Every structure is written in structure tokens, then in C-alpha cells.
Amino acid sequence: MAVTLDQTIAQKQHTFVSRVLSSQTFWVVIAVILACLFLSFATDAFATQKNLYNITRNITFVAIVALGMTFVIITGGIDLSVGSVLCLCSMVLAVTMHAGYSIEVGILASIATALAIGAFNGVLIAYLGFPPFVVTLGMLSVARSLAMVASNNTVVFQFGPDHDKLLALGGGAWVFGIANPVLYMILLALITGFILRWTKFGRHIFAIGGNEHAATLTGVPVRQIKVAVYMISALSAGVAGIIQTGWLGAVTTNLGTGMELQVIAATVIGGANLAGGVGTAFGAIVGAALIEVIRNSLGLLGINAFWQGTFIGGAILLAVLFDRIRNFRRSD
């Protein structure tokens, strides 16, 4: 029977199931579930309400920043400054509130700081052609230093008149006993997923990561979009900083040190490609979850904490290995 041209064109090559099975994110989800099942049986402490509450909440800070990082990584960029920006934004919030301003003013100042830093990074990268690695490496140093300047390198733990409001914002559990940070994370993940899949902006982000030259030639506003993604990344760090401040109840200038690496690890484990063009919101969350489950399990299983780095590093390599194997098969 002859197949007409129209039939060929209308044919869908991949079913929903085959697409899911071939995604790295799916296998990482399986890994997380298996790890959780194993830990529930192997230890008494894992499947307790308190431990699960802790895990889900600990995931959120890395996950929220990873959502922002996903935008940057899809365009083929990188943002190394997120840990320092998180610290600076926390500090701006803390210092502003400590000086007697309300929580609204504090959050506004903190968000404005984040957006200004993101815009600065973005303009250097998009308009002046600096390599993202270099610009954000510089900002990593600058933002941390500014946080020290702002606080005179002290610990801030009194947040003025709205002290309790801030602690409730980050430390409370307003809905069904789910920690507030988890709710923020879910909300932000939904927004991120929507933007990436359903908006023109999201489509253009993928286009830039796939072939920046092509995006420019077809009239995609590449520069503006690049500035926007670095602003989103810094904003996500700022938001995570605000929530973390409320949760911790104190801000020190080493908050978020080394966090950029965890965040990048989470995005990559979740299926984002550092070469650009690939990444999902769900992947960022799942990647963050896997890292946290590994950390938590090592503690519960009584394995020396010094091994943490080895296991997390192993997870990064393993996740990417799956991706390589799939690509080898395809290219055969």
C-alpha cells in the first residue's frame, strides 16, 4: 500500500511514552524514587514526617536557584554568581529590616539588588560580548564582598519590627503542613515550566541555545533575551535568599558559598545541557532532589560526611553518562 506524502507529513515519529522513556529526567526520577524506597526500608529515620519535611525544604533553595539557572543554561550561558548574589540579597534584606524598615521595603530592596546585578551581568555578556563564565566569576567575587561591606561582616539576626513576619514567611508551613519554601518552589517551577513551553520568550531561549546565529538571522531579539535570562537567574537567587533568610533567622556572609556548583549540578543532573538548547523546569527540581536525597541518605546510613562530594560527583557523571549512551546509540 502506498503511503501518501500527506500521511508521511502527518505521522508522529515519537509517542508520548517513547519520549518520556528517552528523557534523562525520567531516569533521574526513577533513581530518586528507588533511593527513597531503599532508604525507607533500610533505615527507620528516613520515612518519618520530620525527615521528609526537612528533605523537601532543603531541596527548595537549590531548586529555586536551579530554576533560574535553567534559563541561562538553555541559552548556552552559565551563571557562577548565584551563590554570592543569594548572600548579598539576604544581606540587603537583613540590613534594611534591621535598620527598622518594614518587610515590604526589605524585600523590594533585595529584589531590586538582584535585578540590578542580573542586568549588569547580562549587559556585559550580551552587548559587550564578555564570556559569561568570566563576567559571573567576577560577580561571584564582587557580590560576596558587597555583602560583607553591607553588614561589616557581622551576623545579622534581628530584623526590626517585622522580624516575626519574615521568620513566618520562610519558616512557616501555611498549607497542609508543607513547608512554605516548598510551596514557593512548586509555584516557581510551574511558572518556569509554563514560560519555557508556552511563551514566545521561552521558544526564543531554546533557539538561542540551539543556534544563536540562526536566532539572530531570523530576527529573534537575542541581546535583550540574554539580558533577561541573567536577570531571571539573579532574581531566582534573590528570591531563594529572601526565603532562606526567613528560614534560618540569621544571615552570615558565608551564606550560599559554593552553592553555584550545587545548582549547576542539579540542572545538569536534571537533563540540562551545558552546551545549550536543552533543559526543563522539572529537571531542575528533580536534580536538586536527587542531590538532597543522596546527602540525607549518607547521614542516615552512617556514612562519613566526607564522602558526600564523591557521591554527588558520581551522580553528575552517571546522569550525563546515560545521555551519552543514548547519543551513541542514535549516531550508530
> Which residues would be at the binding site for another protein (CB under 8 A)?
5-6, 8-14, 197-200, 203-204, 206-207, 209-211, 213-215, 217-220, 277-278
CB of 197 to another protein, least distance (A): 8
CB of 281 to another protein, least distance (A): 16
Residue nearer to another protein on the CB measure, 126 or 278: 278
- Where helices occur in 77-221 by DSSP H, the ranges are 82-98, 103-126, 132-151, 163-171, 180-198, 200-210, 212-217
Radius of gyration (Cα) for the chain, nearest Å?
Answer: 21
What is the three-class DSSP state of 182? helix
Of residues 275 and 301, the one with the C-beta less far from another protein: 275
Shortest distance, position 226 Cβ to another protein, whole Å: 16
Question: Least distance to another protein from the beta carbon of 76, Å?
Answer: 10
CB of 267 to another protein, least distance (A): 16
CB of 13 to another protein, least distance (A): 6
Given the complex with another protein, which of 12 and 329 has the nearer CB atom? 12
Write b or e for each residue in 26-59: b if 16 or more Cβ atoms lie within 10 A of its Cβ, otherwise e: bbbbebbeebbeebeeebeebeeeebeeebbbbb
Rounded distance between C-alpha atoms, residue 288 and residue 192, angstroms: 15
Q: How far apart are CB 211 and another protein at their closest, in Å?
A: 4
Question: Whole-number minimum distance, CB 331 to another protein, in Å?
Answer: 11
The whole-angstrom separation of Cα 271 and Cα 279 is: 6
Nearer to another protein by Cβ, of 153 and 218: the residue is 218
Residue 223 buriedness (CB in 10 A; 0-12 / 13-18 / 19+): middle
If the CB atoms of residues 12 and 50 are measured against another protein, the closer one turns out to be 12
* Calpha distance 134→310 (Å, rounded): 27
Q: Looking at beta carbons only, is 5 or 128 nearer to another protein?
A: 5
Comparison of 50 and 213: residue with beta carbon closer to another protein = 213
Cα dihedral 283, 287, 293, 298 in deg (nearest 10) = 160
Whole-number Å distance between alpha carbons of 240 and 5: 52
Residue position matching grid coordinates 557580590: 143
Cα-Cα-Cα-Cα torsion 145, 149, 155, 158, nearest 10 degrees, comes to: -130
201 burial via Cβ count (<10 Å: 0-12, 13-18, 19+)? middle
> Taking a C-beta distance cutoff of 8 angstroms, is the pair 65, 237 a contact?
yes
Q: Which is nearer to another protein, 172 or 210 (CB)?
A: 210
Cα separation, 204 vs 196, in Å, equals 9
Residue number, 11 or 49, with CB nearest to another protein: 11
Least distance to another protein, CB of residue 298, Å: 36
Spell out the residues 6+ positions from residue 64 whose beta carbon is closer than 8 angstroms to its own: 181, 184, 185, 188, 236, 239, 240, 243
